[in-house]
Structure 1
Amino acid sequence: MNQQNPQEPNPQQPGWGGPPMPPGHNGPPFQPLPPKKSRGKAIGLGCLGVVGLLVVVAVIATAAGGGGDESGGSGDVAPAASTAEGEQPATEAKPSDKAAGTGEAEKKKAKVVVFKVWGTAPAGALGPLDITYGSDSDSRQGKWKDGGFTATLPLNDDALYYTVTAQLQGSGDIHCSVTVDGHTEKAHAAGGYNLCHAQATAGLLGGWD
């Protein structure tokens, strides 16, 4: 019978790391079971889940509240007003266009031909002055009144000339003129049945002579 050293641990005795090994067992020593998970970690993870759920609920509630404000109409009034105010300068910028249009209208209005006769012209046997005016395609009769005569016609760019003629009836002293696009032609007649004849002719390169 083998005697065991009291100093050496006996694997078959309890209290040395595990239950006693059966006789003749040559396997590895007893491996203790892994420790159980800490309850504190499980509790901490549960608390984090609750906090996360509360945050999600708060975000949903905030989004719902913001959507209600947008659909309520009170939040839409201010942007509409600002947009309207923002569009005002664009509508007020149109007077410059109107001014340009007015300038063009005045320019077109200025393009007229002016005919004038003035001076002293006593009436003769056939009456007062005999006045004719117009263009190469439009001739008209004028009337002497209160010592003068004035008439206007629209400027026709295709006209070859514009003219005015006044004939005295026995005596008098008169002047006549025709103005086309800023250019004026003048003439003079005195005594008898003389003619006062002024004519502006279209130039070959544009303008009036």
Structure 2
Amino acid sequence: MSHNQPPPPSGPSWGQIPPPPMPPQPTTGPKWARKRIAIPAALFILFVGVGIGSSGDDQQTTAASSKPAPRVTVTETAQGKAKPAPAPTVTVTKTAKPATPKPKPKKTEPAAPADKAVFKVWGSAPSGVDITYGSDTDNLQGRGLPMTKTLPLKDDTMYYNVTAQLQGGGDVHCSVTVDGKTKTGHAVGGYNICSAQLSGGLFGGWS
């Protein structure tokens, strides 16, 4: 007797590995259609990126502006007591006065001996001079300039004198000294005479 048996399954039999599935086939289409889809997509991605970037910048700016400004604390070091300013220096300049030259001491004639009469003649007599000296009892001749002569004193002598007569031009001085007393004379030019005399007084002394 015959029975109708179902047809065998189309799948793999028991124990067999099924074959791998076929990869999907890319949809083929015209190139211009793919470009129409790719360009808007790229522009959209660009706009989205720019928006995100600007949003991030705004968020950073807002975050930076919302931060409080830092406080700066300056600590000054306390200085010690200020030193007093030094006193100003005062310079005093003194002008030294020139030293006054001391006058040269005049030559002093040595004192005549107490027991002698001293006769002197000095000066200039280019043409010569005629000199006489002595007392009322003695008349002596002198020579040369300057001239100094002495005679002993006598108790009975009335005077002592000296004369010098120029023999032309010249300038001469003469003197006689007796017992610390002196008389002088002066003559200039020509034949002028220089004369000096001391006379004894009635009560002593000379004048």
Query: TM-score, length-normalised on structure 1?
Result: 0.44
| Max Rg structure | 2
Query: TM-score, length-normalised on structure 2?
Result: 0.45
Which one has the bigger helix percentage? 1
